[in-house]
Amino acid sequence: MTATPELRIGIVGYGTMGRAHSYGYRVAPNVAPLPMRPIVKLLSGRDEAAVAAAAASYGAEAWTTNWRDLVERDDIDVVDICTPPGTHAEIAEAAAGAGKAVLSEKPLGTSYAQAHAAWAAVSGAGVRNAIGFNYRRLPAVALMRRMIADGVVGDVRLWRGTWLSDEFTDPATPFDWRFDRAMGGTTIADLGSHMIDMALWMVGPVAEVSAQSETFIRARPSPTGDRRVTIDDASSALLRFEGGARGTIEMARLAVRRPCDFTIEVNGAKGTLVFDYPRLNELLYGDAGDDPGLYGMRRIRAEHPGHPYAELGWPIGQGIGYGETFVNQAVDLVRAWPSGAWTPSFADGLAVQAVCDAMELSAAQRRWVGIPEITETVSRRRP
């Protein structure tokens, strides 16, 4: 018997995303035949006791408190970045410089300039790269995108996305990196980046935006006293797509009793599609061609073997959960190693970051901002 070769992965960061990515790699060979077996060789984190415990729990072979050691090791093929957003670009640049493939959690940076530096590093080094927009890999969301691409709803006229969370509702929630714009990025870049990615993926490039933002709880307690919050609690925007469609987007992290609720809707010339995350195995579809006596929306169970990713899941009717998005991500990346396309890529993450920055600038200056205003400014700064 010939042993299955290993795809050797080093994960930087052991928090929720490090746990989720580890889960994906561990389960992927159980749901799909793969050309290689993904193995988490090394896990890194700053807290020695915590990273050691996480490595044991996640099944990592070893751990370190220095991410640079992970990047430089010869037995690591892929550097998987699961740290706060403000660190993504630096780690990605170092990994690219070491000739390693890179997977980064979203957003690619806390600014377009950071994201551009990360993209330029992997592009210049010619290394494989991907960004973790895991919700693309929900069967219902992937089916929604396929139906749009197949023209089922006709020309897209309207797109809207809403993401509501209650994680910051309590004013007593202590200050940490999530409230620091330089390290955690904005709510626009955190929650909004997922929705912006889906908008670009489903409808196409955004031309310009008009946004508003507000910070309702302006300080958070810390051991040294209250610290000023430098991110938005809630934001929303109007979108104009290059293809002529219009859109709206809203994201908030202080919507009481909204744990992690997002909805995506597309209205086309011939129909409507709606995805609602609390019912993540379903897709609503309204067909303008239906008999008037059947007026309304039909509920599609996105679990049929013909639906995207459904063949990786359980028998029809059983559904999947959040964790399976990371399993599907791992399957896609390993199947495409070493020469197939990795998507979404850093280029996709860069495009998303441009829209995020445009929204932030628009909210600050209370005006419409075109995407080229962001992208061309950074391009002019480069030698």
- The number of domains in the chain is 2
Task: Show the tokens assigned to 361.
Answer: 């600038």
Q: Is residue 10 part of a domain?
A: yes
Let me know: does 86 contact 185? Beta carbons within 8 Å.
yes
Chain centroid offset of residue 182 CA:
19
**136-171 residue pLDDT tens:** 999 999 999 999 999 999 999 999 999 999 999 999
> Looking at 135, 161, 192, which one is the last position of a domain?
135
Q: Which residues of the chain have pLDDT under 50?
A: 383
Let me know: does 161 contact 250? Beta carbons within 8 Å.
yes
150 and 122 co-located in one domain? no
Asked, as a colleague might, if the bond just before 84 is cis with ω within 30 of 0, I would say: no
**20-63 residue pLDDT tens:** 999 999 999 999 999 999 999 999 999 999 999 999 999 999 99
Print the domain residue range for 263: 136-320
**pTM of the predicted model over 0.85:** yes
150 and 295 co-located in one domain? yes
The pLDDT score that the predictor gives to residue 377 is 83
Q: What are phi and psi of 176, to 5 degrees?
A: -145, -170
3-state class (DSSP) for residue 153: coil
Chain centroid offset of residue 344 CA:
9
67 and 169 co-located in one domain? no
Q: Is residue 122 part of a domain?
A: yes
Q: Is residue 62 part of a domain?
A: yes
The residues pairing with 63 across neighbouring beta strands, listed in sequence order, are 43
Asked, as a colleague might, if the bond just before 338 is cis with ω within 30 of 0, I would say: yes
Q: Is residue 372 part of a domain?
A: no
The pLDDT score that the predictor gives to residue 175 is 98
Task: Show the tokens assigned to 36.
Answer: 């290689």
The pLDDT score that the predictor gives to residue 3 is 79
Euclidean distance between CA atoms 68 and 222, whole angstroms: 30
> Looking at 116, 135, 154, which one is the last position of a domain?
135
Task: Show the tokens assigned to 169.
Answer: 């509702």
140 and 224 co-located in one domain? yes
CATH code of residue 173: 3.30.360.10
268 and 294 co-located in one domain? yes
The pLDDT score that the predictor gives to residue 2 is 61
Q: What is the dihedral of CA 88, 90, 96, 102, to 10 degrees?
A: -10
